Structures are given as structure tokens and as C-alpha cells.
Structure 1
Amino acid sequence: MIKTPRLGLRNWQPSDLEPFAEMNSDEAVMEYFPKTLSKEESLDLYNRLKEHFEKHGYTYFAAETISDKKFIGFIGLAYQTYEAHFTPCVDIGWRLRREAWGKGYATEGAKACLDFGFNKIKLEEIYSVTPLPNLKSVNVMKKIGMKKVGEFGHPNIEEGHPLKVCNLFRISKQ
């Protein structure tokens, strides 16, 4: 659906499920999420991502390398409705398998998703959220032109959890 020089971003397919579940159970990958996911939780998320695509025409897309069609994670857009001062909104997010880290894939795919969001589905602004300690994601947000607009306590993370307070970034259509 979306192509970059090195990546294909597309709707989910059954062959993604096993590497997706492996990624979601990797403690290093999930360091800035409240917990790792079981296979059942990954299947539920997979189904929700597919349903999101059917409803909205976009999702956190499955990401694969064009050269060898290898699943490396997800990069994409999602409509968020959790209770916060900036929702409902569309946010951009990514999660990559460990072997895909440090290669610029998140930045490359996220730039393509911003273009898709602003020029194909005609969004006026896109948000991104990450816990305060997640400096790698903050760096990607800055590289793609997003600006920090505040911090907030994420309503889906319990009080007192070290990941409760999140950075809020935003970019507007140019």
C-alpha cells in the first residue's frame, strides 16, 4: 500500500502473526510498553489492527523490507479515542523487531505515513505519544518534523507506573 525505497507498509496478513507475536513478547522491544504480550494478546491486537484498516482505510501497517519481504514490525496511523485533552485524534506510531533497529526504518516509514496522512486521507494534524524515557522514539518524532506540545498522564496506564507520563508530539499539515 505504501512504499519507500526500502520498505513496504501494508495491511496485515496471516503470515505476519507469528513474527508479530515474537516481537510483542520480546522484553527489549516492549521496554516502553506496560508489559509484553502473550500470543493470545498479539492475536487480539492483530485482529484489531485489521479491523481498524477495514473501518478507516489505514492502520499501524505491517512493515516489511522490500528486498526480502521480511516482516520487521509496524509503522502507521491509528485513530485514538482514549480520554485525553487532544483526543479523538490520529496518531503515528511504530514498533520494530530488534534486528530492524538502528537502520532508519522507523524514520523512513514514518515520513511516508505522514505523507499518506496529509495528502491521501487529508488529515490536518497528526499526533504521537511515547513515555518520557523513550528517547529513541522522541528522536524519530523530531526527525520527521514533529514538535513536542506537552506531557500527559496516559489514561490506559495505571497510576504510579513508571511509563504513565508521556510526551505528546504533534505535526500540522504544511
Structure 2
Amino acid sequence: MSAYIISTDRLGLRNWKESDIDPFIDMNKDEAVMEFFPRILTDEESKSLVSIFLNHFEDHGFTYYAVEKLNDQEFIGFIGLKYQTFESDFTPCVDIGWRIKRAAWNFGYATEGAKACLEYGFKALDLKEILAFTPCSNEKSQNVMKKIGMSKVATFEHSRMLAYDHLKDCVVYKKMLTNESNYLDR
């Protein structure tokens, strides 16, 4: 059994391990999964991302966590929190993000894991606000953002996507900790 940092009824979120790399590489080669990114990733780019996530965890105590289903320990992607520093009016900030393999879509995993990450960010990490961003055309991710209680606050041109007309126009959603004593009641 893995050491989960966050768990839900169906999911375990944990730090990355060697056995996650091959399924992560496969997931990042799926054009449907990578629809709202500039392109699919090479094996080396996927491995580099895992290193970035591990280093982020070492530096900050949180990251985009590897996610597995509790019933069979199958790796299904990542969900978590990460500092973002790309050039914008609202960075640096902590954002919440997810990427789930296609076979695990439409089961509510992103929503379930993201809700737990928000709670963890506010309760355990003492964050006061968490942002999320996605291209304007990514309605599925925006629906998750709404389901977890985030509100749309702005649109912007993503400084790292300016070369991609279909990806540069993005939305920002935000959730703020407004009443620490009743976060779970909202």
C-alpha cells in the first residue's frame, strides 16, 4: 500500500514513484488528454515533468500528486497544487491542476480529487487562495472548477501560450478561504 498524502473515498494522492513513469508517458502521448496543450509530450518531457513535481514537493511540501484508484492502485494521472510563476497579473500564485488518463474520464475523479486538494491546501497548508487556469475552450476543466466551488475571475492571454492561437486565451478561477471554521460545511 502507498503512503497517501490525501485520500478520498476512491482515490489516493501521493508523491511520485518509479512505477508511475511509464503510465504517465503513455497518458501524455494521448492526443485527447493533451488536447488543451501545445502538443503531446516526448518520453523525456514526461520524465522531466515527474522530476519537476518531485522537486516541487521537496521545496514546498506539496505538488501535483500522482493519483491512483484505491480499489486496485491503478495510476490514473495527477491532481494537486503547484506554485506558478509565469508572467501575469496574478502570479506568483498557487494553482490547482489535474490531468487524468482517458480511460478514467467521466467517473468524477478530477472533481473528487480536486475538492480534497482544496481542503488540504486551506487546512494543512494554510493557503488563503488557490487559483486555476485553462484555455477558454476547455469547458470540461471549467466545469470541474465550478463543481469544486471556484469562481471565474478573469480572462487573460497566457504568456507561455502566445504562439498557439487556440490556447493563448485563458480563464482564471479562484477560491479563497473566507471562513476557516466552516470550510467543510460549504
Question: Structure 1-normalised TM-score?
Answer: 0.98
Deviation at 1:34, TM superposition (A): 1.0
**Alignment deviations for residues 80-136 of structure 1 (CA, whole Å, 9 cap, x no partner):** 111100000000000000011000000000000000000000000000000011000
What SS does the corresponding residue of 2:66 show, helix, strand or coil? strand
Q: Is 1:134 the equivalent of 2:135?
A: no
Q: Is 1:118 the equivalent of 2:122?
A: yes
Deviation at 1:160, TM superposition (A): 5.0
Letter in 2 for 1:9: L
Within the candidate set 13, 21, 27, 1:23 is matched to 27
What residue number does 1:38 align with?
A: 42
CA distance in 1, matches of 2:161, 2:131: 18
Letter in 2 for 1:69: Q
CA RMSD of aligned residues (A): 0.7
What residue number does 2:86 align with?
A: 82
CA distance in 2, matches of 1:146, 1:125: 10
CA distance in 1, matches of 2:19, 2:164: 38
What residue number does 1:47 align with?
A: 51
Question: Structure 2-normalised TM-score?
Answer: 0.92
CA 89–165 in structure 1, closer or farther in 2 if over 3 Å, else same: same
What residue number does 2:100 align with?
A: 96
Letter in 1 for 2:168: K
Q: Which runs of 5+ in 2 are unaligned?
A: 179-186
Deviation at 1:159, TM superposition (A): 3.6
CA distance in 2, matches of 1:148, 1:111: 17
Q: How many residues align?
A: 174
Letter in 1 for 2:38: P
Letter in 2 for 1:137: S
CA distance in 2, matches of 1:131, 1:123: 24
CA 160–4 in structure 1, closer or farther in 2 if over 3 Å, else same: closer
What residue number does 2:109 align with?
A: 105
Letter in 2 for 1:80: Q
Q: Identity of paired residues, percent?
A: 56
What SS does the corresponding residue of 1:63 show, helix, strand or coil? strand
